[in-house]
Amino acid sequence: MIAEDLAGFFLFAILLTVAVLVSVTETTIASSNAKEHHPTDIRAFKNCPNCTDQLPLSTLVCDACEYNFLSGSTGSRYKLLPPPDAGRLSA
């Protein structure tokens, strides 16, 4: 008798937990969809310091003038980083 009551209680507790998790997940999905449809005012562009062209924030090399944001120089499109210090390599 007690064992049946306990089993029923645990079954009820498990179902309640699942129901709460499903509702929380649906709320999270709904809110994340709402964010996609109504983007907040985030500045997603930056200006090239060389030619003042407006570029996406993720741009590493300017398409207009080939300014490299990592090395801070132009014309080195495929050299993303400045060459390493020669003294540091030999040490």
Name the site residues for Zn ion (rule: CB under 5 A). 48, 50-51, 53, 62, 64-65, 67
Minimum CB distance to Zn ion smaller for 26 or for 63: 63
Token readout for 45 is 């562009």
Alpha-carbon distance of 41 to 84, in angstroms, equals 39
Least distance between Zn ion and beta carbon 30 (Å) = 41
User: In terms of Cα–Cα distance, which of 60, 63, 59, 85 is closest to 71?
Assistant: 60
* One-letter amino acid for residue 43 of the chain: R
Least distance between Zn ion and beta carbon 60 (Å) = 12
Least distance between Zn ion and beta carbon 50 (Å) = 5
